[in-house]
Amino acid sequence: MTNLIEIKQLKKYFPIYRGVLLRRHVGDVRAVDGVDLSIQQSSTLGLVGESGCGKSTLGRCILRLIEPTEGKIIFDGRDITSLKSHELRDLRRDMQIVFQDPQASLNPRMAAGKIIGEPLDVFKLGDKSGRHEKINELMEMVGLDPAMASRYPHEFSGGQKQRIGVARALALNPKFIVCDEPVSALDVSIQAQIVNLMQELQEKLNLTFLFIAHDLSVVRHISDWIAVMYLGQIVELAPTEMFFANPSHPYTQVLLKSIPIPDPDAPAEYAPLKGDPPSPAAPPSGCRFHTRCPKRFEPCDKIPPVPVLIENNHTVACHLYSRGITK
């Protein structure tokens, strides 16, 4: 299967300044720091990790909503890293985003139909009647009654608002959608509805998703591949079933043990990480996880690990594997 998205050594640093009159550059927040990743066409890559690890920044860099500091972004065989604004405008039709907070991502002064049809207006697609038909089609596609097109965002529930956001993202028939924690602000029952909707749309429209989340149970349900991110770097990548059958990085193992089990009689395996996450403005030397890792040993605090292929399509960035040490 061909790759729709390829990113190579992508970095995004946010500068830190001090002073008011004489501003001095004193450091950088390394939100994304040397990520290599690819997403196959018509598949879903789940991206997981703790809050603040750089997941959303990575997604926005891929879409060029945030300008990357270094690296290369290849979309559908085309290097889009240095495209100018007028060149990016046409590319926007193929790349869209569904935001985390449906309330904040919808204009409260615009009716739902106008919100969904705004991309059609911006790109001047179709006439007035054609746009009206397209809006009705999109609302039906995401499970909304077209008769609700004249309502404003405050008249919808949280799940309905997110459906509006999904419909807006689909308006231009994109190839790739970044789903930035699209269900984290919703009730559990509504989360399942939105995730199932996105799976149905993917099959129907041949979509490719980057699904960013911190809930591993949701990611397991929708993803074909899973990547684990820690402090701006990818530490493990594998197909979903292989990922859950053989979690290999110590950080991944702790994440999986934190998933609640709906059985009061099941033995508790919860093992919280010790210590606080390091600051991305001053990441640790060597392996960035070594300050909290229960399996650290001599080289971990000095030498950064490189990704190692431990089985077919399963890579881990950990010295336990690069040095041939069993788990």
Residue 106: give the domain boundaries.
95-173
- What is this structure's pTM? 0.92
pLDDT band at 322 (very low <50, low <70, confident <90, very high): confident
Residue 90's pLDDT band (boundaries 50, 70, 90)? confident
Q: What is the CATH number of the domain that holds 28?
A: 3.40.50.300
Do 69 and 99 belong together in one domain? Answer: no
Residue 237 lies in a domain: yes
Q: pLDDT digit string (tens) for 245-282?
A: 999 999 999 888 877 677 667 666 666 677 788 999 99
Average pLDDT on 136-157 reads 96
Which among 193, 195, 197 has a CA at the least distance from the CA of 211?
195
Residues 275-313 have pLDDT tens digits of 788 999 999 999 999 999 988 888 899 999 999 999 889
Is there a domain that residue 315 lies in? Answer: no
Give me the half-sphere count of Cα atoms (radius 13 Å) on the Cβ side of residue 280.
24
Same domain, 6 and 86: yes
Cα 271 to Cα 99, 217, 246, 261: the distances in Å are 31, 18, 18, 14
Residues 135 and 276 in one domain: no
**Residue 6: closest CA among 87, 67, 81:** 81
Query: In this structure, is residue 48 part of a structural domain?
Result: yes
**225 in any annotated domain:** yes
pLDDT digits (tens, 9 = 90+) for 168-225: 999 999 999 999 999 988 888 889 999 999 999 999 999 999 999 988 889 999 999 9
**Buried-exposed string 61-83: b where 16+ CB fall within 10 A, e elsewhere:** bbbbebebbebebbbbeeebbeb
Angle ∠(258,264,267) on CA atoms, nearest 5: 60
The verdict on residue 303 lying in a domain is no
Query: Quick check: 40 pLDDT over 80?
Result: yes
Residue 224 lies in a domain: yes
Residues 70 and 217 in one domain: yes
